[in-house]
Amino acid sequence: MADVARAQAYYRDILGCQIAWSWGDGYGAVFNGDTRIFFSREDKPQPSCLCVFVDDADALYTQYQQEKTIDETPGFTTPA
């Protein structure tokens, strides 16, 4: 990703994570409960995949819908 701080802010402000740590502008992490997500800055970001396992995906999806966290507009993408 091009901007680790921006990604951390998105995960904090939109998805309810907490910022775990940052190291300069190149590395950082967020967490929510037992889930940890690590970020590293890349000057030329490439597509990637992230898998997150949750106990109740339907409940989490409902929560995000109620909080307007999810935008189901066709073609919508979240900030990188």
Tell me how far CA of residue 19 lies from CA of 3, 6, 33, in angstroms.
14, 11, 12
Residue 74 lies in a domain: no
**15-22 contacts, C-beta under 8 A, 24 or more apart:** 15/64, 15/69
Instruction: Give the number of domains in the chain.
Output: 1
pTM: 0.68
Residue 14 sits in a domain of what CATH number?
A: 3.10.180.10
> Which domain covers residue 45, as residue numbers?
4-66
Can you give the pLDDT at residue 80?
47
* Residuewise pLDDT in 10s, the chain (80 residues): 889 999 999 999 988 899 999 999 999 999 988 888 999 998 887 877 777 777 888 888 888 778 766 666 555 555 54
